[in-house]
Structure 1
């Protein structure tokens, strides 16, 4: 008998606490417990306190998988970006996190390491985890697997600095007008051979930057030498190599627009190795206001925007989409850029024809 009683007591101890137990102890309906757990604002403070006390007393832990199966919001947003080492993404994540926290959502971030295959795996993971929505900066806008993964996702998606052939909201900086203003300024100084070094010619950022560059030349009636367009990478070593090639030409550029955070260090190194003076021998403008741009000698003029504001606006748009507060048609939102003039630009010392 003693063994049976011990076994019975052990079974009672091991019995799993359920949401029904919490509802019974708190004296509320099961749905009320779910609303408290998910931070619904419709619950009174008195009821919320009773439920939380019952959860604490019983030691109950919500079953996230079961919540998802019942259609209960996980209050979780995913954020997939390409490179965890890029400080731009850190600022975007902070902006998104602050906005989401204010509305009771948790942000879960993941880096794809610039791999479309990993992007697909991450989208599928957030789908299985019943995320409420996704912020996403894709690596390849035309990747078929990634496009299908987004089609199959059961939550709204807002793209950051990218566009897809899908009806999805996008939020990005106004790179078109920022680059146009920079090129127009150099043209006004008398530059006629301006190089553009950038990456992303197959994504929104690269297309917009090139479009602004070309429009500035078209408005000024100045033809563009396509050989001065180097648009294949944002990497520092690419900036170094292409700047060396450009400055080694007989008809070298008199100005460079370096459009990409990591490009600037490579461009500056190549200019120094050639023994050229900034801005006397070559004028320079870069994008993204970094510590290097501010502390270089001379300080480098920049096309600047606020990545924190970009991340925050993307999160707010996603929340509007989750709440169905926006029109069904996709929305394109642009964060303004500004051209900050420093000491790295001057009229060309000699006209290179």
Structure 2
């Protein structure tokens, strides 16, 4: 009998409090407990008070989110980017992760698939999960719902390669000077009809690249034919189609700047289909140093930067913002670009 009583006592001692116990004591459904823990706005204050009181009485600690209600940091940073297939983001994630792990933070990544409504949902999710901060490459800089969601977020945000009409830190590559330098080089070779294929004309990257391209022409006193500007997408198919259109013009370009990692393969395929030679018939410069750019014949000149350094610097700035070690005013940080000359450029044929 003594042994049985001892076993029962031990069983009582190790019984774990669960969400079911909290729901029973508070007199609510299990889903309501979950909504309170995740700070859902649909819960009334009366119900919220009952649940929180039950949690306190039972000593229930479900997860990091519940700890967050008592003011304990989750030690978690979110990272939202547009396309998980883009290898640039994997390098940025690695740079950010290395910087954050040194300080004891976990990095949680999410892909928005370039959908603004999904970005809004992800920001709200990180808010409910009590993230300490967010790294973000927003798809549409002017999206009203996104702007409102970020303003309502209870954590600091650092934008990567983007800028918003909000007082938020931003970290990006110096695309302006990289593109300007590449364009100046082509102009110095004698090119006067230089095409540019790119996307992102409504975001920081696209604007900076176009500004660098236009400034180089302006300083050289060379007018820009707007028909040579194709700025609507970073997709491979877009690069293929628009290169075909450009090379089919009666007065075709003598050089192309392909600004976007996925564009290059489409551009090269279109040039090959036209039976043209690089650089004899057309000079070519691309952005982002990929295997394709290095291994193509001839190797393609590139405007490149270090995405690992970009991700790391963004994470370090976010840590400084969390620790309140930086001025209140938003900061813009730029990672340098460099123009790497290979064998894909030559003076235009007369």
The two structures have a TM-score, normalised by structure 2, of 0.86
Q: 1:112 to 1:32 in 2, by over 3 A?
A: closer
Q: 1:92 to 1:35 in 2, by over 3 A?
A: farther
Q: Which residues of structure 1 form unaligned runs of 5+?
A: none
Summarize deviations over 1:205-248 as a string: whole Å, max 9, x none. Answer: 00000000000000000000001000000000000000000000
**Partner residue, 1:130:** 130
Moved beyond 3 Å, runs of 4+: 1-8, 13-63
Residue 145 of structure 1 and its aligned partner are, at CA, apart by: 1.0
Alignment of 1:3-42 (within 5 A): 5=5, 9=9, 12-16=12-16
CA contact (8 A) 1:39 1:104 kept: no
Residue 338 of structure 1 and its aligned partner are, at CA, apart by: 0.1
Summarize deviations over 1:286-326 as a string: whole Å, max 9, x none. Answer: 00000000000000000010000000000000000000000
CA contact (8 A) 2:37 2:66 kept: no
CA contact (8 A) 2:182 2:285 kept: yes
Q: 1:343 to 1:128 in 2, by over 3 A?
A: same
* 2:91 match: secondary structure: helix
Residue 66 of structure 1 and its aligned partner are, at CA, apart by: 2.3
Q: 1:52 to 1:333 in 2, by over 3 A?
A: same
Check if 1:81 corresponds to 2:81.
yes
CA contact (8 A) 1:38 1:74 kept: no
Residue 11 of structure 1 and its aligned partner are, at CA, apart by: 5.8
CA contact (8 A) 1:193 1:225 kept: yes
Residue 148 of structure 1 and its aligned partner are, at CA, apart by: 1.0
**Partner residue, 2:175:** 175
Deviates more, 1:13-22 or 1:201-210: 13-22
CA contact (8 A) 1:258 1:285 kept: yes
CA contact (8 A) 2:37 2:65 kept: no
Matches of 1:339 and 1:88, distance apart in 2? 18
Residue 12 of structure 1 and its aligned partner are, at CA, apart by: 1.6
Residue 63 of structure 1 and its aligned partner are, at CA, apart by: 3.4
* 2:258 match: secondary structure: strand
**Partner residue, 2:237:** 237
CA contact (8 A) 1:38 1:73 kept: no
Q: 1:324 to 1:157 in 2, by over 3 A?
A: same
Matches of 1:258 and 1:196, distance apart in 2? 6
Residue 116 of structure 1 and its aligned partner are, at CA, apart by: 0.5
Matches of 2:253 and 2:8, distance apart in 1? 86
Q: Paired residues, what number?
A: 350
Matches of 2:340 and 2:142, distance apart in 1? 34
Deviates more, 1:11-20 or 1:277-286: 11-20
**Partner residue, 2:332:** 332
* 2:177 match: secondary structure: helix
Matches of 1:143 and 1:54, distance apart in 2? 41
* 1:257 match: secondary structure: strand
CA contact (8 A) 1:74 1:132 kept: yes
Residue 67 of structure 1 and its aligned partner are, at CA, apart by: 1.2
Q: 1:249 to 1:32 in 2, by over 3 A?
A: closer
Summarize deviations over 1:125-161 as a string: whole Å, max 9, x none. Answer: 0000000000000011111111111111100000000
Residue 48 of structure 1 and its aligned partner are, at CA, apart by: 34
CA contact (8 A) 1:38 1:75 kept: no
Residue 47 of structure 1 and its aligned partner are, at CA, apart by: 39
Q: 1:26 to 1:322 in 2, by over 3 A?
A: farther
Q: 1:42 to 1:225 in 2, by over 3 A?
A: closer
| RMSD, aligned CA | 8.8
* 1:178 match: secondary structure: helix
Matches of 1:31 and 1:116, distance apart in 2? 28
Matches of 1:303 and 1:231, distance apart in 2? 17
The two structures have a TM-score, normalised by structure 1, of 0.85
Summarize deviations over 1:271-294 as a string: whole Å, max 9, x none. Answer: 000000000000000000000000
Residue 70 of structure 1 and its aligned partner are, at CA, apart by: 1.0
